Amino acid sequence: MGKNIKIFDTTLRDGEQSPGCSMNLQEKIKVAKQLELLKVDVIEAGFAIASQGDFNSVKEVAQIIKNSTVASLARALPKDIDYAWEAVKYAVRPRIHTFIATSDIHMKHKLKMKPEEVIERAVAMVKYAKKYCEDIEFSAEDGTRSDPKFLAQIYEKVIEAGATVINIPDTVGYTTPEEYYEFITKIKENTSNIHKAEISVHCHNDLGLAVANTLAAAKAGATQFECTINGIGERAGNAALEEIVMAINTRKDVLGLECNIDTTQIMRSSRLLSTITGVQVQPNKAIVGANAFAHESGIHQHGVLEERSTYEIMTPESIGLTTNKMVLGKHSGRHAFNERLKSLGYNLSDEDLSKAFKQFKDLADKKKVVYNRDIEAIVSEEIIEIPQTYK
Ligand code: KIV
Ligand code: ZN
């Protein structure tokens, strides 16, 4: 048994902040229902005060979703918290997620507040939110660029005030796995009541390290991972849910973690989001990219046709695909070509196969991918004797 990790999905909030990814009410409801099928532990449904549309969608999601906690984001301001509560109060398990920035850069230039004032506000707002709701998450925005001793002070006080989850965000995707591990360890050492709250992490992908950082945080004691489908989110995005979850499942041996996600719903979730937003994932994207379970080179195709585990560390079925994909191109070999012919109903003699394979290689040199229709054309033109009158 591994350590259980809660998956907090913020596709509908941080993900939606990604350029070109905004969604209307009906679209958000569809995504939320799919997230429930995926069995995420927490759905952050939006930022209730951001707009009337956001408020309505958080409220609808809260009313519809039965099996996941539903959260709304709120700045550390009474009005934000009032809106958040008005929207999430219908949920079976509501959560208010309040945040304030804690780095010197943010406190000085954005908030124009002194560190003591930030602590005071955070504590007051957690207490304020606690009047409404038992489950309160507190996030220290730009956490990884904050002084860890200062963070320990603020976390200690918000936990005392009733925060049930404390989040340590890498808001600008700046940290590295080792550093993040040490940073969280230091915070834990200096926060005497940390055992009373759940530690959450929220990583952005500016340096392409979001998933690695998230996984490193588990070693330091984090038990809630914040992420989005397809890794959408501000700038370079958030840690991708599908990558985190498949790493947890595939490398249980080294990570020692487990989660409640139904991985067979991953592909469906990814495609639903792409269809709704119109933002496609890159072909080589881990887990959900079009090439993630595709093989082109002869050596790889031969290996996979003999024994899938030669080049597949997880099965396509485990993420909800029906099969892997053999792409026929100039790197493909005779074995894969013959398998494709058989799947198309052609059983060629050795001699015909050699003829067809040569035609295929000539064509593959001119085209990036050789499709079934090309193969059928090769066979019908070059191999099967068709009476002249029909040509
Ligand atoms: O990136 C971030 O710091 C956030 C917080 C609001 C959690 O999205
Ligand atoms: Zn974020």
Q: What's the pLDDT band for 384 if we cut at 50, 70, 90? A: low
CB atoms within 10 A of CB 174: 17
Q: Is the pLDDT of residue 391 over 60?
A: no
Beta bridge partners of 8: 42, 226
Q: Is the pLDDT of residue 374 over 60?
A: yes
Nearest residue by C-alpha to atom 1 in ligand 1:
171
Nearest residue by C-alpha to atom 8 in ligand 1:
14
Which range, of 84-93, 216-225, 317-326, 380-389, averages the lowest pLDDT?
A: 380-389
Q: What is the pLDDT of residue 381?
A: 80
Q: Are strands 325-326 and 3-9 parallel, antiparallel or unpaired?
A: unpaired
Give the ligand 1 atom nearest the CA of 99: 6
Structure tokens at 253: 């041996």
CA 225 – CA 168 distance, rounded (Å): 10
Tell me the average pLDDT of the chain: 96
CA 324 – CA 310 distance, rounded (Å): 13
Ligand 1 environment, Cβ below 6 A: 14, 99, 139, 141, 167, 169, 171, 202, 204
> Counting Cβ atoms within 10 Å, is residue 114 exposed (0-12), middle (13-18) or buried (19+)?
exposed
**DSSP assignment, residue 282?**
P
Tens-digit pLDDT profile for residues 70-108 = 999 999 999 999 999 999 999 999 999 999 999 999 999
Q: Is the pLDDT of residue 382 over 90?
A: no
> Counting Cβ atoms within 10 Å, is residue 244 exposed (0-12), middle (13-18) or buried (19+)?
buried
3-class state of residue 5 by DSSP = strand
CA 276 – CA 271 distance, rounded (Å): 8
> How high is the ipTM of this complex?
0.99
Residue set of the binding site = 14, 202, 204, 238
Percent of the chain with pLDDT over 70: 97
Across the range 169-190, mean pLDDT stands at: 98
Across the range 125-147, mean pLDDT stands at: 98
16 C-alpha to center of ligand 1: Å?
13
